[in-house]
Structure 1
């Protein structure tokens, strides 16, 4: 596209090809992976022909070659669920052979099975140890990942369509400067999370009588009924933007937290409201990512390393 000499000429547009991640074609429209599959199949058919053409009928060999060649061609060019067919089949085989029952393993356990369990004589399939990448979540929101750490920044989105061409150009430049300043892996996750309007409606209905004026109480109760009806008729969703920052070799116990604070300040220049999640917020974000339609309610669990106390009743 021709360059623009004035920011008021119109919005800046850049064309990005849709197949930017497509593998390169090397021969007859086939990729290297497809050519490797066809080459292996062709070599196998040739060796089989050389070994069996003197002892087996030719029509039988030709029929077998057509079947095997067709299967190899389908494996090379076929796709399923957006994946190449060979990758999809390999994933299916790995999923079938992998244990389907997992249990949390302790830090010092080798295979997650206690010593008193007789593995050799039991007929019950024992659960395999569940190995998670995160070791612990600190109070300040740092997620321990073995030798490294990460932190999560919750951010809002920006509607560029409502801004002038000059503001769009400034916003894109600021976002580009932030991307160019990164020296460690950063993951941006955009997801749709369900909104619990029923709880909001119940809370509003309970607080309506506490308002000082009857008109305010009536408006609050009417809004609570509207939210309850909306929750009954539809499943509202909200957009959630999470930015995960990992340490890039920085020294210090709170390096991930400092990097997350820098990201929040950099995104503030774009008009984005960003905040670094604390320990409870990071726990809720990870739990919602695992089960978005049943988010965990934090506050009832103690963090690792905390002493659990209880109330004592006088005798």
Structure 2
């Protein structure tokens, strides 16, 4: 098959590797880069008009060459996947941002019996999160909008035939074209605790009905334990966050969008499910601290009443603090 035939084969299209790359306007430079260079050129011209009668020309030319090189480096340079001007602006914002954040109110005055410190103490700034509540159905309240999460498995396109690949891409493209609100696809790798699986398997091996099954279970438990010591096993997690529109009303609008996503992606041959409140809470907690071991029994959702027996006769209820 010739190159022309491959390029014109139906069902295939060439796409750039970075679809978010800005367009080149002139001389391989983007509009942002040209704007930075144009502003710098105007500043240099104004400085020349103001200082050419006061300073020698070689001094002005030397300063212009040095400053021009710095501006050109800032305009075309990149670091950590960002242009240098954006990177420097983020560095300035980070240096001026508070180092400590708190969910409690730090603006209230201290009582009279508290001795005021002699030196100035930096108080933590209020922590403002985009989400303020998660209900039992899994909807996340984001101010005026709501969001929901869908967990999905992945599919290996390399093992499919060209016709199957084209069908899968077409199904995925139809779902993308149906989106009318911001949607986020998060693919992450999280550690797997094989030690707990090995312990559970070793404990249940003695209760198996046949000695051969018990030996196989014990051998597999030892294998899992050794694998956890030699390697850092990871699992891949795919989360799809659907969000409602600004004017979209309804108590379960985000949940309906999540259910529509589950139905639309079922044609890809992947396993999808809309997450409830506990699963959404666990997913957000894992995203904030991916290397923390999962707690036995999972995490309770916000505003969940946690009850436990006290003295065998009474129950005490503790309302979980949102912080």
Partner of 2:109: 115
Checking the alignment, whether the CA contact within 8 Å between 2:150 and 2:258 is kept in structure 1 is: yes
| Equivalent position SS for 1:269 | helix
Question: Alpha-carbon deviation of 1:174?
Answer: 2.0
Instruction: Please say if residues 288 and 295 of structure 1, whose CA atoms lie closer than 8 Å, have aligned partners that are also in contact.
Output: no
Give 1:296 shift.
4.5
TM-score by length of 2: 0.86
Q: For residue 2 of structure 1, what is the aligned residue in structure 2?
A: 8
Match of 2:258 in 1: 260
Report which stretch shifted further, 119-128 or 138-147.
Answer: 119-128
Could you say which residue in structure 2 is the equivalent of 1:170? 167
Q: Which residue of 1 aligns with 2:189?
A: 192
State the 4+ residue runs in structure 1 displaced beyond 3 angstroms. 117-122, 298-310
TM value normalised by structure 1 = 0.88
170-179 or 291-300, larger mean C-alpha shift: 291-300
Q: Structure 1, residues 262-302: CA drift from partner, whole Å, max 9, x if none?
A: 21122112211011111111111111111212254374755
* Runs of 5+ consecutive residues of structure 2 not aligned to the other structure: 1-6, 315-323
What's the C-alpha RMSD, in Å, of the aligned pairs? 2.3
Specify which of 284, 303, 311 is matched with residue 309 of structure 2: 311
Per-residue CA distance 1:16-72 (angstroms, 9 max, x = gap): 122543323333332221222122222222222222222222222222122111111
The answer for the alignment partner of 1:103 in structure 2 is 102
Instruction: Give the conservation status (yes or no) of the 8 Å contact 1:280–1:298.
Output: no
Which blocks of at least 5 consecutive residues in structure 1 are unaligned?
A: 5-11
1:151 to 138, 148, 153: 148
For the 8 Å contact 2:193–2:293, the answer to whether it is kept is: no
Higher mean C-alpha deviation, range 210-219 or range 223-232: 210-219
SS in 1 for 2:256: helix
Map 1:227-306 to 2 at 5 A.
227-248=224-245, 249-297=247-295, 299=297, 302-306=300-304
Gap change, CA 1:296 and 1:132, over 3 Å in 2: farther
